[in-house]
Chain A
């Protein structure tokens, strides 16, 4: 099924790993709201969103396993925390509800730009999966945008908390577009429509209108782009301990 020659695979595995880790980490982080979200509908919604993201992660790890001849579960669970390649934006702890909304808004809008650049790409296993994922992400975008507007338009504490969360996450928001080592190969081969730097520009232009309308602080440029997907913090190490707990307690366990 692989219609790419061997030299391009190096770039493909990094692309798949970064996307899968992003979806896995945000899916797992937000699933922590299951049972404790501010209201029942949101509990259901956040759980469903998380389930979608974990599904996307599983499918992406599955493609990566095919490309590299390994096993999806071992990629997902058997790495040291330092070897995960999710964007730094997703490295912060769950925080309060405003933090969850801010992080998800920044991530969903960035992911939408990335997915668009992969739709119709030349490697059909990924392009087919992306076409399917985008149909689900439409619901995510609709939901998270309405929450951003709700918090931003409220007076007092909700808006203050949202602005504080954007202040914490903003400097890391652009890390979803951390350049990949071999991205020029992916662009040349038509897997990815444009380089990450260009995608970041498109994303910033897209969210600028919304942020100006809601009078919210725009995310500043990424402070240290070289650390965009590495050097994870304590919050992630804690999360890693949580999501690997079953795997380490009973290696090889299946449902």
Chain B
């Protein structure tokens, strides 16, 4: 349904909770903490997002998903820009986002010594490699339940 009345910034932010991160779809862009600024003006909606990594290849998809979602919901032009004005850090992931990560089998970001297994909660884990399948993830192994798992990098 297209909402025709002028949306508030809060309306836009709520709508953004329905835009998933393409690499970790259990997280919305809001849970991930990349939504920096939302401005609603007479000529459309401006959203500024913070890249998790400088060269994140998912950025174009995220930009398009945000524009599609807000455009179809509010029926007005949407502009999405990226900025390094403040650096995205892994502390920006919300509490519910951290819980969603754990449920999906990905350890939420922590200092390497504090990473716990998302499957069995054991702290007896070792980092196999600081680098994983995406720029933002590392590879770990749990000695407790003998399962490999991924952890979001703490940046």
Contact = CB atoms under 8 A, between A and B. Distances in A.
Given A128-B84, A131-B87, A54 B131 contact: no
A158 B76 CA distance: 61
Interface stretch (A45-53, A104-112, A174-182): A45-53
Interface in A13-53: 41-42, 44-45, 47-49, 51-53
Report, as a range, how many residues of chain B touch the other chain: 20 to 34
Interface of B: 51, 53-57, 60, 83-89, 128-135, 139, 153, 155
A234 interface: no
Majority secondary structure of chain B interface residues (helix, strand, loop or mixed): loop
B55 A58 contact: yes
A52 B133 contact: no
Nearest to A49: B131
Interface string A119-147: 00000010011011101101100110000
Contacts of A129: 54, 84
A51 B86 CA distance: 22
B135 A131 contact: no
A41 B139 contact: yes
A58 B82 CA distance: 13
Given A54-B55, A128-B84, A135 B131 contact: no
Nearest to A133: B54
